[in-house]
Structures are given as C-alpha cells and as structure tokens.
Amino acid sequence: MVKIFIDAGHGGKDSGAVGNGLLEKDLTLRIAKRVKQLLAAYENVEVKMSRTKDTYPSLAERTKAANVWGADFFLSIHINAGGGVGYEDFVYPGSSKSIAYQNVIHSEMVKQIDMKDRGKKQGNLHVLRESNMPAILTECGFIDNKDDAAKLKGENFIEAIAKGHVNGLVKAFDLKEQKADDDCEYYIVVLKGDTVSKLAKKYDTTIAKIKSWNQLDDKYTIRIDQKLRVK
C-alpha cells in the first residue's frame, strides 16, 4: 500500500498569495481534493490530507501528521506570487529520492498544463526539510499574473493541474487502475457541486443504485468530503 500525504497549502487565517480575485488557499484545496478523488481510481494507494476544509494547520502540524502516519510521499500544493509566470516545483537540496520523484512529476505536470516551465528547483522549505519521507512542493502558476490567474479561474485548468499531479504519482509509484468490472466497487470523494444525479450520469450508473450502495435518505443527501460508492 502506497501512502500519499497531500498538503493543501495555507488555509484558514492564512490566505497565502492573493491576486486577480483569487486566494491561494482556495485553489490549493480545490486541487488537493481533486487529486485525492482521481487517486481513488487506483489500487493499493491510501491518501491522507493536511486539511479538508478552510482551516490552518501549522507547518509543524502538517509534517508531524505525515510522519506519524508513516507516509511514503509528501505532496504540498501551492500557487505562486511575486511577479513571475509559470509552473515550478521544489525538493529539499540533495535529497536523491525526492529528486528522482521530482523528475517524474515535473515531466507529467508540464505535459498537462499550458504554462511556462520554470524548471525543477531545490529549496530549504519546512515541509520538505521536516518530512521523513520524499517530498515535493509544487507552485502551480502565479496568482498575481493576469494570464496565469485567468487560467487558474477555469475549471478545465484546475482539472489539468490535478491530473498532472496524479499522472506523476501514478508513474512514480507504478500505480495500477482498479479493475473496471461489475464485481469491483469504486468510490469517489464528494466535491462541491456534486449531486447524486450528476454522479450517476458521470459514472454510467443509476440514482437508485448509488442510494442503495450508500444507504442515502429519500432526499439523496450527500456531503462534501464524503466517501461515496458510485460503481
């Protein structure tokens, strides 16, 4: 079982970078949740998140949670600021295992997103230094650049960022997709805007089956972050 710890940067009292009507903390949480949802399609992978809501765990709390859990990899998702443009990622200086994973994840990220490649970098950052496992921090565009921000406002671009992370993790850890047969149960994590009707259509099933599998009430009530069987 591969244990992936996903850290949605900032949160709560710490908005992170701000620009063009966007908050970094909101974007990182959306991306992190979608990464978790996409990883649910693969076998032998377990995901834990540093936060699932608009809260602020300290940097020490984030790395401690990953270390105590015994994660195999630490992924910290961020949005950049400071007048630049494009995508870049960081690992701790000289960490050979992290660098090896960075090579794979960076390659898959730049394949997915239409954004300037600022390269693979190294930095003495807390989440990279204090995590006991290989770790990477991704900076997915500049919130204060109007062109990058315009992309970050699009749902399709957020999806591309999430897929880039997932494709990198799949390749780095040789993850296999769950078998798509009638006997294989398939679960997703409910995101904002999901409804039973939408999910039934997306996963080619029926509302009645989703209700039965998950013992939903007659109003088909589901909640954000709920693990839901859809196949």
From the list 24, 88, 108, 139, the catalytic residue is 139
- To the nearest 10°, the Cα dihedral for 146, 38, 72, 110? -40
The pLDDT of residue 79 is above 80: yes
pLDDT of residue 181: 55
What's the mean pLDDT in 35-57? 95
Active site residue 139: yes
117-122 vs 87-91, strand pairing mode = parallel
Point out which residues pair with 11 in neighbouring strands: 14
Cα 23 to chain centroid distance, Å, stands at 16
pLDDT digits (tens, 9 = 90+) for 27-39: 999 999 999 989 9
Task: State how far the alpha carbon of 9 is from the alpha carbons of 2, 47, 86, 139, 209, in Å.
Answer: 22, 16, 18, 10, 36
pLDDT of residue 109: 98
Token reading at 214:
């998950």
The pLDDT of residue 41 is above 60: yes
User: SS3 string of 158-181?
Assistant: HHHHHHHHHHHHHHHHCCCECCCC
User: SS3 string of 4-37?
Assistant: EEEEECCECCECCCEECCEEHHHHHHHHHHHHHH
- Residue 189: pLDDT band (50, 70, 90) is confident
pLDDT of residue 167: 97
Per the prediction, the chain carries an average pLDDT of 94
- Residue 182: pLDDT band (50, 70, 90) is low
Q: Which residue has the higher pLDDT, 70 or 181?
A: 70
Task: State how far the alpha carbon of 125 is from the alpha carbons of 29, 183, 204, in Å.
Answer: 20, 45, 44
The pLDDT of residue 2 is above 90: yes
Which residues are CB-contacts of 45 (< 8 A; sequence separation ≥ 6)? Answer: 1, 2, 3, 4, 39, 173, 175
Say what percent of the chain tops pLDDT 90.
86
Q: Cα(3)–Cα(36) distance, rounded to whole angstroms?
A: 12
- Residue 180: pLDDT band (50, 70, 90) is low
The pLDDT of residue 225 is above 90: no
Q: Cα(101)–Cα(210) distance, rounded to whole angstroms?
A: 37
- Residue 3: pLDDT band (50, 70, 90) is very high
What's the mean pLDDT in 42-56? 96
pLDDT digits (tens, 9 = 90+) for 93-148: 999 999 999 999 999 999 999 999 999 999 999 999 999 999 999 999 999 999 99
